[in-house]
Structure formats: C-alpha cells, structure tokens
Structure 1
Amino acid sequence: MQRTVSARIDLTIEDPARLVFMLAVAGGAPDERLELLANGVALDAADVLELTDAAGSRLHVVEAPAGSLSLSYSATVDGQAAAGSDRPLDLVEYLRPSRYCESDRLGATAVAEFSGLEGHALLDAVSSWVGTRLAYVPGSSGPSDGAVQTLLAREGVCRDYAHLVIALLRSLDVPARLAAVYAPGLDPMDFHAVAEAYVEGAWHVVDATALAPRSTLLRISTGRDAADTAFLSSYGGFVQLDAITVTATADTLPADDIGRLVQLR
C-alpha cells in the first residue's frame, strides 16, 4: 500500500517563541520534505533541531522570530512505516493514569461493563461501548477535557474517544496508549487520534470513531495521551494558529473488518 500525506500550518507569532512540531511520519520516509518559512524566508536545516523521543515520535524544534511562520510537510510511504515503541517499560508506563486518561476514576465503570472479557473480545466490547455512547461533535470538547468529562458530556472528537477507550482499558489492567496518525479516508480530513492496546502479545489499534480504515493509518506520534502527542506546542511568545491543512491518501482504501485485530505501523 502506498500512502501520501501532507500538512501545512500557518502561524502568527507576536513575540519570539520556541515551537515544537510533531507532524512527521514516525520512522521517516524515503520521500519526505519539510520546509519552514519565517517571514517569507526559508529557514536552513541548521535552524531546525530534530529530536526523537523514547516512544519514537519525531519532534522538530524551532526558535521562531516574531512575524509569520509557515511549515509545510509531505511524505510518501510504500509498504509499512516504522512500528511504535515496544519497550518492556511500555507495559508498565501505559497502565498508569495520566492527565487525560483518568483510569483510577473509571475502575468501577470498567468492571461493571466489561468484567470477564479479555483479549480481542475486550477490545471489541470497549470500542463498541464507547462508540455507541458518545456523539462525534466537532468543537464540543475543550483542551483540558479528559476521559471522565467526555463520558459525562457524552460527546467529543477523536482524541476524546481515544482517551475514554484508553482509560477504560487501563482500569482493567490492559496497557493502552494514544497514537496521533494520518488517516486516509477520514472525512473531514484532519489529524486523527486512536488508541492502541496491548493484547495477545502485540499492540493493536482501537478506534471507537470508526471514521477511517485502521489498516491505512500512518503513525505520527505515540504517548500516554494528547499531552504527549500535540502537533504543535509553543513556549514563550504568543502564537496564533491562522490556518491548518492536512491531506492523507492511499492507493487502496479497504473496508475495515472490525472483526480482526489490526496493528498500526
């Protein structure tokens, strides 16, 4: 399968700021390009620091001057991209409650709804339960809303669905994490967020939104929750997001067989 993705972000920066972008394909791609324009002038590669975190996510750090800044990224991936982190520590770290996945507060709910289930059957049950109890409503959630607030509100966007799935699974002692992805077939097109759960000896995708075929997803970043996977973080001066455009296509857009486990690569 060949997948082609791109992103463009336009910013206005009131005062100099440090910007951290996470929108490059994890593991890289042979056909990949990243360009930054600050006040209409292209930044040299030496002005952009690329880092890789413990989960394998790629970060691009820029000391941005005041004014306008645009970032354009594109990549084409043939076959499978890099898998996510499989450190032994992951099976401990991704069991813990985190900022947006308050698994310690959802234990009673998880046990009441899913007691006795495990493995593939558990993932199917949690995905279906979350998918039927939440309404997908763009703009319905705030930046500080976690899994508990999402369950109370009964609505959210992809990251809210993923946070609730992750919190419920961690409550049942199943390691679970969040992955930010490019998602061919997603409509409307945007960055997408899904959960991954460790069952039957591997990490498998759980997407309670069912908005894109899981087999086409292309990993950007991986973490405990959205706090670890934001496409843009800014430190210092005030930064305004003026525009964002995301594209993701695949040469084959298969139906998603919800009856099988799918690994994100």
Structure 2
Amino acid sequence: MKLNVSATLTYGFDSDTQVIAAIEAARSPDQTIISESLVISPDAVLVRDQDPMTGERRFRTALSGQVQISYQALVDNGKRIPLVPYARQHDWSELPQDVLPYLLPSRFSPSDEFMRFAQREFCAIEAGGARILAVLDWLHEHLDYVHGVSHAQTTAEQTFIDRAGVCRDFSHLGIALTRALNIPARAVSAYALDLDPPDFHAIFEVYLNGGWWLVDPTQLAPVEGIVRIASGRDAADIAFLTSQFNCQCLNQSITVSRAQDDVGSDDAGQQAA
C-alpha cells in the first residue's frame, strides 16, 4: 500500500533549546520512501542520525521562539503481512544480540511484575504467534480506549488497574505481557491510516519466526496502513520531540491517506496536505 503522510508541528520555545525529533518515516525493509520533504521555519542547522539496525531517523538542532516543523512523504509498504498464529517463538539462545534488550523490563513496561499473571492467563495457548494473538484479544476485551484516564507517566501497571487508556497505554501493557511470556517486544511510533482524529500512533512489534511483526493492540489501524517512524523499549525511546527545556505545542496536524495511484478511480485517496 502506498501512503501519503504529513505532519505539521508548531512549537514555542522561550529560549534557545536543544531538541531531538523523530517524525521522519524509517527506512526499513518493509517500507520504501518514494519521496519526502522536511522544512523547518525559521531555518535551523540539523545534525542527522540514522540507526543502521532499524533504519529510524532523527534530527538534532537548537530552536528558539515560534518554530514550525513540516514533514511530508510518500511511502510504499508493499504487502505487509499481519501476524500469523504459526509464527515460531525462539529460544533465547537463537535470538540476535540486538533483540535481547527487548526481553527485559523497562520504565513503562515492567514485565517482571506480570510474570505470574501472563503465565497463568496465556501459557495454555500454543507458544508463538497464537499466544500473542491471544494477548491482543485480551487487551481488546479488557481495556477501554478512553482519553484523559492516563498521562505521560502512566505505566503498564496502572493501565492494568484502570483497564483504560490510549494507544501508548495499550502498547505498554501489551509489551509487558509479551516480555513476561519470554518473547521480545518493542514500542513503535508510527503514522497510521484510519485514525480518527488523525495523530501519531503508538503500537508495538514482537520478534517471532526470525523477524519483527507489527501489531496494533488498539485495533484502530490495519498493519498495512502503518508507516513506522521509530522503535525502542517503550514510549521514553520513541517520543516525536524531546527538548532540553520545557516548550509549548501551539498546533499539531497529522494526515495519512492512500496515494491516488494506489486506489481505484472511484475511491481516490486524498493527497496529504
């Protein structure tokens, strides 16, 4: 699937402030960037970083006053395959070294606190993809998608108690349960088709059958309609803007649509603004 993605972010900075931004589509094997543009107004000198393992890209710079960051891209996801129940779970000795950190507890996904519950709830189900699909079904059945219940410091433990939250909360709990089942899981920030209202989306992916599989625990977006931005242990690693000092978000606009040449003539997608 070909997707147009667009993000326009306007921030106010009281003083000269160092920032790290992750809003550009990753150059990963399952998505190809056909064209893109990044404009910062007023102009800023950027330091560009790209992770050789994940293909995610970030830029660092110093910003002050009112600043607008605009990113647009046309991305081809090809035919991304949803997680299948027969995807095999690996022994730890088989895992690549770079995957090992995603077995461990992290700040927002303390998986060690969920070992007993996860083992009791899911270990009767066949290991691998089937077990993760059962975790996703549990999240869908037991959590309500509700704005305002959680905040930036909410952990998977609190979401488990509240049984409600937004996409990052669903993902943090899903990651915690997956790691408690001895399967690597990592958080992913993304652009996503069909979100209402449009926004950055937090999902996660699991390592099975020799590769990473994207899953959306909220079931709000199809995996073929997701454009990966960044990945990490949890939300602390994938924020779209990290600033040295406090800043104010003055406006944010996100759009995602199917590219016009990727849909039928009677269902032409809107071009991203």
TM-score range, shorter chain: 0.7 to 0.9
SS in 2 for 1:165: helix
Structure-2 residue corresponding to 1:246: 254
Structure-2 residue corresponding to 1:7: 7
Q: How many residues align?
A: 241
Structure-2 residue corresponding to 1:135: 144
In structure 2, how many angstroms separate the alpha carbons of the residues matched to 1:111 and 1:226? 25
Distance 1:5 1:100, change over 3 A: same
Match of 2:179 among 170, 176, 179: 170
Contact map agreement 1:81 1:218 (CA 8 A) in 2 = no
Q: Could you report, residue by residue, the CA deviation over 1:3-44 in whole angstroms, capped at 9, with x for unpaired residues?
A: 100001101111110011101000172311000013xxx33x
Structure-2 residue corresponding to 1:125: 134
SS in 2 for 1:209: coil
SS in 2 for 1:109: helix
Match of 1:100 among 84, 108, 130: 108
Structure-2 residue corresponding to 1:261: none
Distance 1:70 1:249, change over 3 A: same
Structure-1 residue corresponding to 2:76: 78
CA drift of 1:144 comes to: 0.8
Contact map agreement 2:143 2:164 (CA 8 A) in 1 = yes
Structure-2 residue corresponding to 1:259: none
1:229 maps onto 2:238 in alignment: yes
List aligned pairs for 1:35-46, cutoff 5 A.
35-38=39-42, 42-43=43-44
CA drift of 1:79 comes to: 4.4
In structure 1, how many angstroms separate the alpha carbons of the residues matched to 2:139 and 2:151? 19
CA drift of 1:195 comes to: 1.2
Contact map agreement 1:123 1:206 (CA 8 A) in 2 = no
Q: Match for 2:176: what amino acid?
A: A
Q: Match for 2:62: what amino acid?
A: E
Shift >2 Å, 4+ stretches:
53-56, 78-82
In structure 1, how many angstroms separate the alpha carbons of the residues matched to 2:188 and 2:79? 14
User: TM-score with structure 2 length normalisation?
Assistant: 0.83
CA drift of 1:81 comes to: 10
In structure 2, how many angstroms separate the alpha carbons of the residues matched to 1:58 and 1:202? 20
Contact map agreement 1:102 1:167 (CA 8 A) in 2 = yes
CA drift of 1:224 comes to: 0.7
CA drift of 1:80 comes to: 3.9
Q: Match for 1:180: what amino acid?
A: S
Contact map agreement 1:101 1:225 (CA 8 A) in 2 = yes
In structure 2, how many angstroms separate the alpha carbons of the residues matched to 1:17 and 1:88? 38
Aligned Cα RMSD in Å? 1.9
Structure-1 residue corresponding to 2:50: 52
Structure-1 residue corresponding to 2:38: 34
1:217 maps onto 2:226 in alignment: yes
1:194 maps onto 2:203 in alignment: yes
Contact map agreement 2:77 2:224 (CA 8 A) in 1 = no
Contact map agreement 2:41 2:68 (CA 8 A) in 1 = yes
SS in 2 for 1:188: coil
In structure 1, how many angstroms separate the alpha carbons of the residues matched to 2:63 and 2:99? 37
Contact map agreement 1:26 1:81 (CA 8 A) in 2 = no
CA drift of 1:191 comes to: 0.6
In structure 2, how many angstroms separate the alpha carbons of the residues matched to 1:81 and 1:129? 27
User: TM-score with structure 1 length normalisation?
Assistant: 0.86
SS in 2 for 1:75: strand
